[in-house]
Chain A
Amino acid sequence: MTIEATIPNFATGVRLREDKVRGGWVVLAPERVFVPDEHAIAILQLVDGRRTVGGIVDALAAKFDAARDLIATDVIAMLQDLTVKGAIRL
């Protein structure tokens, strides 16, 4: 199975939450807080346990009217990074 066909999800005990005090969004995980940048937030808001990586790339390519290849590289790199950190399961 290619990575684009896999369905990413937040690891158990990890959630994305709006931070109204500071403004923005945060990923709350066991014993740590990740503060994603704008691009990462756009990606993580599409992680819902149903969409595939490819589906997320399609949605972002349409939303930002950008080259699909570029978006795919960014999305995969970010999700893999958060997988190593234990926040995402791919």
Chain B
Amino acid sequence: MTPPPLGMLAELTHRCPLQCPYCANPLEMDRASAELDTASWQRVMTEAAELGVLQVHFSGGEPTIRRDLLTLLAHARDLQLYSNLITSGVTLTADSVAALRDAGLDHVQLSFQDSQSAGGDHIGGLQGGHARKLTAARLIREAGFPLTANFVVHRQNLARLPDMIALGEAMGAGRIEIAHVQYYGWGLLNRDALLPMPDQIDRADAVVAEARQRLSGHLVIDYVTPDYYAARPKSCMGGWGRQFMNITPSGRVLPGHAAETLTDLTFPSVRDASLAQIWQTDPAFERYRGTDWMAEPCRSCNRREIDWGGCRCQAFALTGDAAATDPACALSPDHAVMAAAMAAPRSDDFTYRRIGGAPAAVTPP
């Protein structure tokens, strides 16, 4: 029997006031008319709790756009699920934050695009967005929520990493996530605009190491060196179908948020089967679960149950073979594509994330 998942990402909607060019949502997004209704989300959460899910991350798009968010949060509380709201913060008001607290929300993760307005508003594509996030941070802390400040970093903002950490401290965050852009979907489309230079990454590693030491016991900093500059791949989602499931706005169940980029797999829907059936028997969840699917060099590698071969979506996007070793690994025969991308010329121009806004034919760089 497959061990049950620990966490579920509930992508309530793809609608969002921001247009960040590295959005984790797919290039082809779900429209509002395709979204699951309230009763379906409630059923999915009930099934998730019965299956063994402990934490639900309400995400999007911007999850606060859903009018039934409070109803869904209250349902999570009734099921003893730990609830996390992953928000841009730009829609929050004192009243709405108080309502979130009353509905039983446990934790807020607030995203930032930069430490200052010029860069933040440019990347987010929303004039005044950064200032609204600062207000949201204050309201969240005043309401007594634990706060994670999430800073997505890339070539155009890494120079301000020390300021981002200082901002996280100043707003009273208990955790700071320094998240390098992940280069799938929109991120891959905009890779030449966002991929950091090697010296920027070296400096970022040093800044984080210093801050972690200084803030130990007061504030946790989550940070991972980006794939394009690593010798070993990350354990993507803790392994395919091992710990997490992701529900898209229209009800598709995925082992990870970019899984729909694997064009040879068909993913199940909560409209057709229970989460338990899906988790335990669906062929798409079985496909890369465990280690049996691996070829060399993963198959005999002593890290195969540490990194689980890295990311299937990255392997497919960069090599055309989803069952290949993640090219982030120095042992991958395709590892040179990472160095080639790092050496490629950069540009400041990017395509904003918009529903229906992806180029008709997307050729990965």
Q: Is B148 an interface residue (CB 8 A)?
A: yes
Given contacts A13-B106, A13-B145, A31-B175, are A26 and B54 in contact (CB under 8 A)?
yes
Q: Is A12 an interface residue (CB 8 A)?
A: yes
Q: Are A21 and B174 in contact (CB under 8 A)?
A: no
- Report the bound CA distance from A14 to B82 in whole Å: 9
Q: Which of A14, A21, A22, A84 has the most CB of B within 10 A?
A: A21
- Report the bound CA distance from A76 to B219 in whole Å: 20
Q: B219's closest neighbor in chain A, by CB?
A: A86
Question: Which one of B52, B55, B220 lies within 8 Å of A86 (CB-CB)?
Answer: B220
Q: Which of A13, A14, A21, A85 has the most CB of B within 10 A?
A: A13
Q: Chain A residues near B52: list those with CB within 8 A.
A: 19, 21-22
- Report the bound CA distance from A42 to B82 in whole Å: 22
Interface size class on chain B is 20 to 34
- Report the bound CA distance from A33 to B51 in whole Å: 16
Question: Which one of B50, B54, B107, B144 lies within 8 Å of A30 (CB-CB)?
Answer: B107
| A-contact 0/1 string along B36-61, CB 8 Å cutoff | 00000000000000111011000000
* Distance in Å: Cβ of B78 to nearest Cβ of chain A: 14
Q: Are B82 and A28 in contact (CB under 8 A)?
A: yes
Interface residues of A in 1-60 (CB under 8 A from B): 11-15, 17, 19, 21-22, 26, 28, 30-31, 33
- Report the bound CA distance from A52 to B203 in whole Å: 43
Question: Which one of A11, A31, A85 lies within 8 Å of B109 (CB-CB)?
Answer: A31
Tell me how many residue pairs across A and B have CB atoms closer than 8 Å. Answer: 58
Q: B216's closest neighbor in chain A, by CB?
A: A84
Q: Are B84 and A30 in contact (CB under 8 A)?
A: yes
Q: Which of B50, B145, B220 has the most CB of A within 10 A?
A: B220
Q: Are B148 and A28 in contact (CB under 8 A)?
A: no
Question: Which one of B51, B106, B148 lies within 8 Å of A21 (CB-CB)?
Answer: B51
Q: Chain B residues near A84: list those with CB within 8 A.
A: 216-217
Question: Which one of B51, B107, B217, B219 lies within 8 Å of A31 (CB-CB)?
Answer: B107
| A-contact 0/1 string along B1-17, CB 8 Å cutoff | 00010110000000000
Q: Is B71 an interface residue (CB 8 A)?
A: no
Q: Chain B residues near A86: list those with CB within 8 A.
A: 174-175, 219-220
* Distance in Å: Cβ of B108 to nearest Cβ of chain A: 9
Q: Chain A residues near B80: list those with CB within 8 A.
A: 17
Q: Are A33 and B4 in contact (CB under 8 A)?
A: no
- Report the bound CA distance from A26 to B81 in whole Å: 12
| A-contact 0/1 string along B91-118, CB 8 Å cutoff | 0000000000000001101000000000
Pairs of residues from A and B, 8 with the lowest C-beta to C-beta distance, nearest first = A13-B146, A21-B52, A28-B82, A30-B107, A12-B146, A86-B220, A13-B107, A30-B146
A interface list, Cβ under 8 A from B:
11-15, 17, 19, 21-22, 26, 28, 30-31, 33, 83-86
Supplied contacts A17-B54, A21-B50, A30-B175, 5 more A-B pairs, CB within 8 Å: A13-B174, A15-B106, A21-B51, A31-B55, A33-B6
Report 28 cross-chain contacts, Cβ distance below 8 Å, ordered by A residue: A11-B146, A12-B144, A12-B146, A13-B174, A14-B146, A17-B54, A19-B52, A21-B4, A21-B50, A21-B51, A21-B52, A26-B54, A28-B82, A30-B84, A30-B106, A30-B107, A30-B109, A30-B146, A30-B175, A31-B55, A31-B84, A31-B148, A31-B175, A33-B6, A33-B7, A33-B54, A86-B175, A86-B219
